[in-house]
Amino acid sequence: MALLENLVLVFVAGLVTALATGVGALPFFFFDEISDRRNVVLWGLSSGIMVSASLFGLVEEGLAEGTPLQLGIGMAAGVLLVVVAHNVLVDAEIDPQEYEEADFKKLVLILGILTVHSFPEGIAIGVSFADLGLEGGMQFLGFTIPLLAVFMTVAISIHNVPEGTAISIPLKSMNVSNWKMVWWAVFSSLPQPIGAVLAFGFVRIAREFLPYGFGFAAGAMIYLVLTEFVPEALDLGSELPNGGKPELAAGIVVGVLVMVPLAFI
């Protein structure tokens, strides 16, 4: 029964991060569009949050649980997952503005890419709950929750908001209703609670693989930031002064400043 309760808790944490993606669609209830400048800042914010969560959360914990070699092997596997996923999806890129006039098939492709990208985040949540029930965590509803799990859940939830906005841009141009945009945004992150449960179950049963699990999640997320989020932000800001680099840098700095204090609580 305790195992089932733990799995439910981890699933709920993953579901919370998925629902946070829907928040990214909410601005379209009040505005017809979001400026490129704000979008660049949002992508920068997301990038700063994910790199901070990976370095100060997953990598640090992975080194505490295992060796640098184990962590490195896990990170390489995480990068490989993203690369393979891209190849399966014909190496398509996330570029919402390019597909503002997209047909249904192309829209499904966009959603498919974002869905594949959300799975590593679910794995990150799952491995962060590895010490669930052990001493040193915070008490919540009768559970002893690792501080790393709280940190990762908050980080990924905040990070998911700009992803929800990215999904909503082409949907808005196709006159999709506001509530349907919220649904599609949440839908793109539904693999997160599934990935969280699978990763948690795996590292609890085979705890010796925990360092690899931390590295896997960190590698996948850092690679996504470097190859998807930053290029996407620069592409969106190409028409802005200095190519949108100041807005991107500002977003990254804010993201880091928001998350770093949480890592040392």
Entry pTM: 0.76
Query: Is the distance from CB of 14 to CB of 200 less than 8 angstroms?
Result: no
Per-residue burial over 200-215, b = 16 or more CB atoms within 10 Å of its CB, e = otherwise: bebbbeeeebbbbbbb
For 5, 40, 75, 238, the CA distances from 232, given in Å and listed in that order, are 39, 8, 23, 10
Across the chain, mean pLDDT equals 79
> pLDDT tens, 13-36?
999 999 998 888 888 888 777 777
Domain boundaries, the chain: 2-14+41-263
> pLDDT tens, 217-261?
888 888 888 887 888 888 878 878 888 888 889 988 988 887 777
Q: Identify each DSSP E strand in 70-141 by its residue range.
A: 138-140
Of 230, 221, 74, 55, nearest to 151 by C-alpha is 55
The three-class DSSP label of residue 140 is strand
Backbone angles phi, psi at 100, to 5 degrees: -60, -25
Q: DSSP 3-state helix, strand, coil percentages of the chain (rounded to 5)?
A: 80, 0, 20
